[in-house]
């Protein structure tokens, strides 16, 4: 029964799963290569010759690929920000029937590893409906689809949801700092390099997540962004024409028993306003946090009436908020608790 259902689900979602081909103009690559001074001229010249040999008739050089999936009949494509991260690149969407379409970046999530393209065509496209990732259960059967290894288009793997609300430490793209990503779905469905950006679907053929990463040192451990994160981004695009993410404007670490003991804190929960990376500002100038007087070494205990813990971080709470919302915030400052209100700003 599972096998028959698996085949029908794959048949349903495959037409809306795409390969994203990333290209760059050879002349632009040549300019960039010439500006690099820390490699030998002979190596630089060989690299330029190789790139020129790879250029197509329009002078475009393929520099990468990834996966994505269509989420609206107008041709909006969801993928990862680490794939769709540069407005200077040229993006081509390749569908399962072999057709190619030019596409443009319409939005990049400033927080999560999510980006969206719009296919430049007036056709109506098959698309994958978005499920509600809040309702997911351990053991649910799932299917991951993508462009495995950047070579094998339409690769399908099946598995189950093996974990919820997972956290990993990762760098979303080369311009981003290393950060902890919370709230991920863990699956044993194979997610290979190149599968990133493709959909994780349930047995109804609905997207429950966007595939993002694997643990390279372990087998059968892959991670997916819950689709509800991306649903809010899609709503923002339709409403504002961009993704709007609320923020406080502080760097912090979540307090647990280990952090409490390490810094000799009075509580084992909350967000400790400190930055273990000295090159970042702890409190962003002119941010909502600065405006209400949050200081270094304060502990934010609650936001929007919710206690801040490892399981419910500031980021998790902000997912349910909008830019401009006025929320209650409880802070521990110099050993004393006080409560005030904060107007959430927009993260750029």
Enzyme catalytic residues:
82, 113, 196
CB 179 within 8 A of CB 172: yes
Gap between the Cα atoms of 199 and 190, Å rounded: 12
Q: Which of 345, 219, 203, 338 is nearest to 283 (CA)?
A: 345
Structure tokens at 148: 């495995």
Gap between the Cα atoms of 312 and 270, Å rounded: 9
Gap between the Cα atoms of 54 and 347, Å rounded: 39
Residue-by-residue DSSP string for 300-325: EEEETTEE--SSS-HHHHHTT--TT-
Spell 123-132 as b/e; 16+ CB within 10 A means b. eebebbebbe
- 182 Cβ contact partners less than 8 Å away, ≥ 6 residues apart: 165, 167, 313, 315, 316
CB 198 within 8 A of CB 69: yes
Rg for the chain (alpha carbons), in Å? 22
Gap between the Cα atoms of 75 and 106, Å rounded: 11
Gap between the Cα atoms of 243 and 78, Å rounded: 13
Q: Which of 140, 84, 153 is nearest to 114 (CA)?
A: 84
């Amino acid at each position: 029964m599972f096998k028959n259902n698996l085949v029908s689900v794959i048949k349903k979602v495959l037409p809306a799963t795409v390969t994203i081909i990333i290209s760059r103009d050879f002349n632009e690559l040549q300019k960039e290569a010439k500006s690099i001074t820390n490699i030998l001229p002979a190596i630089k010249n060989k690299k330029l010759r190789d790139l020129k040999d790879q250029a197509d008739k329009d002078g475009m050089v393929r520099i990468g690929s990834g996966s994505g999936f269509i989420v609206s009949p107008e041709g909006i494509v969801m993928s990862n920000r680490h794939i769709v991260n540069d407005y200077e690149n040229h993006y081509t969407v390749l569908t399962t029937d072999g057709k190619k379409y030019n596409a443009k970046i319409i939005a990049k999530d400033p927080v999560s590893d999510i980006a969206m393209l719009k296919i430049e065509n007036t056709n109506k496209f098959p698309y994958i409906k978005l499920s509600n990732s809040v309702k997911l259960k351990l053991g649910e059967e799932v299917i991951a689809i993508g462009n495995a290894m950047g070579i094998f288009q339409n690769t399908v793997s099946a598995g189950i949801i093996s974990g919820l609300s997972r956290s990993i430490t990762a760098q979303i793209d080369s311009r981003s700092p290393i950060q902890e990503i919370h709230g991920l779905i863990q699956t044993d469905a194979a997610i290979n390099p190149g599968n990133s950006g493709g959909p994780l679907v349930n047995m109804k053929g609905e997207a429950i997540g966007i595939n993002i990463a694997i643990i390279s040192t372990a087998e059968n451990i892959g991670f997916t962004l819950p689709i509800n994160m991306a649903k809010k981004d899609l709503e923002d695009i339709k409403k504002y024409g961009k993704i709007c993410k609320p923020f406080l404007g502080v760097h912090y670490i979540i307090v647990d028993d280990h952090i409490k003991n390490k810094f000799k804190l009075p509580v084992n929960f909350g967000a400790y306003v400190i930055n273990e990376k000295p090159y970042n500002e702890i409190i962003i100038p002119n941010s909502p946090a600065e405006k209400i007087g949050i200081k270094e070494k304060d502990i934010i205990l609650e936001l929007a009436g919710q206690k801040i813990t490892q399981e419910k971080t500031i980021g998790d709470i902000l997912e349910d908020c909008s830019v401009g919302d006025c929320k209650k915030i409880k802070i521990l400052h110099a050993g004393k608790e006080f409560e005030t209100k904060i107007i959430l700003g927009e993260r750029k």
